[in-house]
Chain A
Amino acid sequence: MEVVLQVLLNGLILGSVYALIALGYTMVYGVLRLINFAHGDVLMLGAFAGYFVGNAVAEVMPFPLLVTLIASMAICAAIGVLIERLAYKPVRSAPSLTSLITAMGVSLFLEYTTALVLGPTPRGFPQDKLLPDSTLIHAAGFPDVHSRDLVVMATALVLLGVLYYIVAHTRMGKAMRAVSFDKDASRLMGINVDRVISFTFAVGAALAAGGGVLYALKYGRVEPYMGIYPGLKAFIAAVLGGIGSIPGAMLGGLLIGFTEAGASYFFSTYRDAVVFSVLVLVLLVRPAGILGRGMVEKV
């Protein structure tokens, strides 16, 4: 029983981080139909920003974690807008694969540049300085629950909530939904599509940065290539949940988290194969993801 609970707990923590990263994918995809392969690398930049800011503000400012998180999200939001303006905007009207390749180029560029400037050697994230860890629940027959894990989950949840609020209840959110529904029609309705897209990228990058800081906080390591696999897993989570759907991304993230935790426990050698098989099976049953809506083709 303890084992089952422990595995579920592992999956929940992992899944909430994946969900947060998957949201960024899904938002950008919803508005632009672009798989932003550089998302994982923005996560890496966010983690590095968190590393530098965190080391600077710890023991100087109150609530160092909050300051780090906000600073890192702000920095990455700016980077996200910059990437969109410089690389994606010129290819917006090109075929979808063109923008995908551009995104891959951006992804490689961010990785290699970071590796050149900061060196490829992993660094220890100032976990303890930002948020000392303690065991909250320690009981027989029950897995240990750590305060840091709870903070990671809670922060992820808060960020998800904020995003949901933005999309569902603000004017900008309404504009985003309109653009994702029909770009040309929304332009005719007087929506500034460029601004909406920039805003989407800013929010997406900020979410990635938040995810990056939480990821680094949980695992304690930052390096230039750290974004690749969380990015890939989050992309899978977004597709699994139904890409373009915000609740879908959350659900997909959690599902991938649980599957991964379970598979690591039962068949660690074939873990990734199990995770991917689950994905394939789900997509065979629900070809547009769990919460995705199949598109009706207009003739």
Chain B
Amino acid sequence: MNTAHYLKKWGILLGAVVLLFCIEEFAFWAINGFWQNLIILAGINMVAALGLNLINGYCGQFSLGHAGFMAIGGYTTAFFTMRFAWPDWMMHMPTDRYPIMFPLSLILGGLVAAVAGLIVGIPSLRLKGDYLAIVTLAFGEIVRVFLLNFDYMGAARGLTDIPKISSFFWVYGCVLLATVVVLNLINSSPGRAIISVREDELAAEVMGVWTTYYKVASFLMGAFLAGVAGGLMGHWLQILTPEKFNFVLSIEIVVIVVVGGMGSTSGVLLAAILLTALPELLRFTSGMAAVPGLSLLGQPSMRMILYSLMMILLMIYRPKGLCGNREIWDILKNRASGTPSEPRKKQAMP
């Protein structure tokens, strides 16, 4: 690896950030609010799902507690942006729209969530499969119950008046960073150790992989990303309520990961877009109400029925998710060259 190579990689990354910034400045706010909202929510789901994909897809640990990590991250970030006495320049520097304290708060939120991930990761040493799932689910519910009783953070009323700082730049900046970090991790030697835990824990251990360490590490990183996603969500919706973080949210994230293909980063990103947009786009079935004979389709509740049916059909026809455990570019490459598919390639970003 020479210097030129590094410069190229960093150049691409820097270019991507500049691109995000330009999109935000010159395009994002000009589009219609419905699409803005959809794009942001999809981005937030991407960050959360990338985190779960590390735990669930790459490391093979079944976690149903992602909502708990998101809640911890969301509330912590909101605490830091709202209640913490930042020095004045941090609130307004470099501009009011991009205050330096926001990424710092997001990182802090992610870190606190990661500590929680550490606490939950430890039981994963002893528990497997569905037992681990239920313990993580229990963790998520415990977090929710505590938040319901936490008057300082609004309890059942929720935390309101959160400033609206999340925007295209922040959300997709996080998506970009998370993707780069995850892809690099997975293609590094610790990443292969993580995958080996999923493939065969016993064999991995025999080969000298410290499985305990990698399991906890994947929980930690997954929780960090979930926390960041929670922080982004709070600063977009401007309200956080404990009820939003019930186990249904955890399940929604699991669905994204499974539909995308466990252990496929690009697949998960695609599924996050698809599953965020689908229920919203199904809102337009309400136009059917005017069509004779189809008036039932126009009922607002019809939308969720269609959504659940699509979920079932997708699983029946693509049981390994959209991408299986390969990346989109691998699939495309194989299709283009006509060679039979080969397991994942290693090369990625810096």
A residues apposed to B, CB below 8 Å: 29, 35, 87, 90-91, 93-102, 104-109, 112-113, 115-116, 232, 235-236, 239, 243, 269-273, 276-277, 279-280, 283-284, 287-289, 297, 299
Contacts and interface: CB of A to CB of B under 8 A. Distances in A.
Contact of B145 (A94, A272, A297): A272
Nearest first, the 5 closest Cβ-Cβ pairs linking A and B are A94-B319, A105-B311, A276-B138, A108-B308, A105-B312
A96 B130 CA distance: 10
A266 to B, nearest CB: 15
B9 to A, nearest CB: 34
Interface of B: 56, 62, 123, 126-131, 133-135, 138-139, 141-142, 145-146, 148-149, 202, 247, 251, 254-255, 258-259, 262, 299, 301-302, 304-305, 307-309, 311-312, 315-316, 319-321
Contact of B130 (A35, A94, A280): A35
Contact of B316 (A90, A96, A239, A280): A90
B235 to A, nearest CB: 27
Given A101-B259, A276-B138, A91 B315 contact: yes
Contacts of B258: 97-98, 100-101
B71 to A, nearest CB: 13
A239 B131 contact: yes
A104 B149 contact: no
B127 A102 contact: no
B138 A279 contact: yes
A200 to B, nearest CB: 18
Contacts of B134: 235-236, 239, 279, 283
Contacts of A243: 130-131
Nearest to A272: B145
Given A95-B319, A101-B254, A270-B145, A283 B312 contact: no
Contact of A97 (B148, B254, B302, B316): B254
B141 A98 contact: no
B320 A95 contact: yes
A116 B302 contact: yes
A236 B131 CA distance: 9
Contacts of A280: 123, 135, 138-139
